[in-house]
Structure 1
Amino acid sequence: MAYYYLVASLIPLTLEGDVSFTPREFFESCKNMLASQDRKDLEYVIDGRPESARHAFVRKWLYAENQLKNALAAARSARLNIDSHQFLRGDKKIDINAAKIVAEALSKHNPLDKERALDKYRWKLLDDMARADFFGMSSIFSYVIKLKLIMRWKSLNDEKGREVLEKLIVTNSGEICYGM
């Protein structure tokens, strides 16, 4: 189904940009314009349950995300000299483009730069995927996932980073201290 007016009215987004609304607020503002199944699928994506969605775009996105995570698992496993097969998801394949992006991202020294490179790849992938159905749900799904990426970046700060690091250290202190 085409959503010409809704897609034409979308405010352009950038990964480094700022937005004054959340994915949930966006959903609330447009849910009455969407067909029933499209509305359900969009809500699944917003709520972090994209695997429940039936739309082909979401399925394709999940596959691409698995490919990226598989490439990350393979690269990290290779650095540790362990077999990556146990860590791979889905069909356990690794997309060559995802592997190339992961290699480039992991070569960066700053962890923030690594994350930014991976999210820039995700952003480009979303743009490419949305072109196939520009005035349809593909553009709307792409938009919401981009909003989620922006919100994630807005939530990153030094204090949260320290909290995560401390939690990792406490959780893994036995392994660190005793080599378990």
Structure 2
Amino acid sequence: MSYYYFAASLPMLIPEQPPPFSVESFRHQCASHLGPHDLAAMDELLGGEPAPQPHAFARRWQVADSHLRNAVARTRSERMRKDSGAYTRDVEGVDTSIDRDVADAYSRPTPLEREKAIDRIRWRRLEEIGGLDPFTADAVLAYGVQLTILERWARMDEETGAATVNALVERNPADKEDKS
């Protein structure tokens, strides 16, 4: 199914830029424009219940994301000299390019830069799976997942991060030794 009007009305998403609206607002817009099967897939992709009928795009994305997560688990396990078997899932197919992309991401000097590089891999995979025609259901579904990536980064900032670290340090039982 094609969504010419809806897709044309959506602003362009730019990696590492603030989202133009919230995922919740986007989901509300989807309810007015998507067919039932595509809307159920969108709900699943945005973190809701699994769709009653599997959607081809959602399945392709789950496979691609599992390949990525497995590659991250293997890379992290290698660095810690551990067996990755306990941290990976069985997934159909093989994607050898993902290992190279993740190795490149893990060559970054800071955890923040690594995480951004991994999200850039996700973004590219979503663009590939979404296809070349921006008016298809697949493209709109990819847009929804990309929006979740932008929203996650928008929620992160230095002040919130510092507050979280301080709260964790204050809760640390080792710091509350009995000094009597």
Q: Is the shorter-chain TM-score for this pair beyond 0.5, marking a shared fold?
A: yes
The 1-side partners of 2:144 and 2:80 are apart by 36
Amino acid at match of 2:57: F
Aligned to 1:176: none
- Once residues 12 and 134 of structure 1 are traced to their aligned partners in structure 2, the CA distance between those partners, rounded to angstroms, is 11
Task: Say yes or no: does 1:141 pair with 2:150.
Answer: no
Q: Partner of 1:39 in structure 2?
A: 39
1:116/1:10 Cα in 2 relative to 1: closer, same or farther (>3 Å)? same
RMSD: 2.6
% identity of equivalent residues: 32
**1:101 correspondence with 2:73:** no
- Cα 1:83–1:19 shift into 2, 3 Å: closer
Distance 1:167 1:68, change over 3 A: farther
Q: Secondary structure of the residue that 1:30 maps to in structure 2?
A: helix
Partner of 1:60: 60
Match of 1:72 in 2: 72
Partner SS for 2:108: coil
User: Is the partner of 2:11 in helix, strand or coil?
Assistant: coil
1:27 corresponding residue in structure 2: 27
Normalising by structure 1, we get a TM-score of: 0.83
Q: Which amino acid aligns with 2:144?
A: V
Residue number in structure 2 paired with 1:115: 115
The 1:170–1:89 alpha-carbon spacing in structure 2 relative to 1, beyond 3 Å, is farther
Structure 2: state its 5+ residue gaps. Answer: 175-180
Q: Secondary structure at the match of 1:63?
A: helix
Distance in structure 2 (CA, Å) of the matches to 1:133 and 1:12? 14
Of 105-114 and 132-141, deviating more is 132-141
**Contact 2:130/2:138, CA 8 A, preserved across alignment:** yes
Q: Deviations over 1:86-110 (max 9, x none)?
A: 1111338762111111111111111
Q: Give the CA deviation at 1:44.
A: 2.1
- Counterpart contact for 1:71–1:95, Cα < 8 Å: no
Amino acid at match of 2:90: G
CA displacement, residues 63-92 of structure 1 (integer Å, 9 cap, x when unaligned): 111111100111111112211111111338
Shift of 1:159: 3.7
In structure 1, the residue matched to 2:155 is: 155
Letter in 1 for 2:115: E
Shift of the 6–65 alpha-carbon distance from structure 1 to 2, 3 Å rule, reads same
Give the 3 Å change call, closer, same or farther, for CA 141–87 of structure 1 in structure 2. Answer: same
Flag the 1:19–1:76 CA change in 2: closer, same or farther, 3 A: closer
